[in-house]
Amino acid sequence: MAAITAGMVKELRTTSGAGMMDCKKALTETDGDIQAAIDWLRTKGLATAAKKSGRVAAEGLVAVTASGNSGAVVEVNAETDFVGRNEDFQKLVMGIASVAAEKGDDIDGIKAAKFPDSSGTVEEKLTEAIATIGENMNLRRATTLNVDKGVVASYVHNSVADGLGKIGILVALKSEGDTAALATLGKQIAMHVAATSPQSISVADLDPAAVERERAVLSQQARESGKPEEIIGKMVEGRLSKFYKDVVLLEQTFVVDGENTVKAAIDLVAKQIGSPIEVTGMVRYSVGEGIEKEETDFAAEVAAAAR
């Protein structure tokens, strides 16, 4: 039996929203396995289903660039939120995004590439910025999307400058239809992705392990409610349909009109332009997601920025 520490209980409580004693019991029942404990709490109705993206901790900016049928998004992290308002840092991040758009999403390849309007590489430019601004910085990730025919649309939520902000989205639409109409639709879908953070484009794309975990939780919930075994299967499939509507892009209710699913909204535009439309790619970056940062108070952050 694994030792259940106060830190483990705190982590589970933060993740699940359940009470401290319930979290301790869940960890005891699951031998300290955090993920299994979350599922245990859910089967008991003590925690809601959640699309966990990780605790947002690191600071910095996301930069998005898109033109025609291609686009790129990058995340560059720094130690404090103040750096995101620094014009030099903003230019650095946007410059790295333009390199990614040209060179692809391999981090080592981006770092080795020449920085725009500079004699040095991206990595050298990062090192220079660290020395000048006084904070550690890191090019964490980059993704590019391309389509042969169609558009790649972008959206930045709460932007601090053109193409820069805390949340950045790219959406790739494959179609031979009117590019202006596709660009409008793509921007709307990107805004939808910013709001709903879907896990996949279609049900077929959804991680099979995530589906099986959800099925197991729903099955256990049904059994503990006392339902006969012969109707548990139907109950689970019905609840899985709701799960898909929560986490799958094409199954979600389109936030732009609040009525159609995203798939139905796409089909309407496809009919208008006389050409099928397929969502071939979707990327959503939120600064710092999944990175755990040492907790500091505001005064300490100000002091760090001042240094």
Q: What is the pLDDT, as a whole number, of residue 293? A: 61
Q: For residues 99 and 96, give the distance between their C-alpha atoms in angstroms, rounded to a whole number.
A: 5
What is the three-class DSSP state of 80?
coil
Would you give the DSSP letter of residue 260?
Answer: S
Q: What is the pLDDT, as a whole number, of residue 52? A: 33
**Span 120-150, pLDDT tens digits:** 899 999 888 887 887 788 999 999 999 999 9
Q: What is the pLDDT, as a whole number, of residue 18? A: 72
**Span 30-42, pLDDT tens digits:** 998 888 888 888 7
Summarize the chain as % helix, strand, coil (round to 5): 50, 20, 30
Q: What is the pLDDT, as a whole number, of residue 136? A: 82
What is the three-class DSSP state of 143?
strand
Q: For residues 53 and 170, give the distance between their C-alpha atoms in angstroms, rounded to a whole number.
A: 18
Map 100-140 to HEC letters: HHHHCCCHHHHHHCECCCCCCEHHHHHHHHHHHHCCCCEEE
Ranges of the chain with pLDDT below 70:
1, 17, 45-57, 292-307
Phi and psi angles of residue 95, each rounded to the nearest 5 degrees, phi first? -65, -40
What is the three-class DSSP state of 212?
helix
Q: Set out the domains of the chain in order of their start, with CATH numbers.
A: 1-48 (1.10.8.10), 59-199+268-306 (3.30.479.20)
Q: What is the pLDDT, as a whole number, of residue 189? A: 97
Q: What is the pLDDT, as a whole number, of residue 195? A: 94
Comparing C-alpha atoms, which of 63, 41, 59, 58 is closest to residue 50? 41
Can you name the residues that pair with 143 across neighbouring β-strands?
A: 73
Phi and psi angles of residue 75, each rounded to the nearest 5 degrees, phi first? -125, 125
Q: What is the pLDDT, as a whole number, of residue 164? A: 97
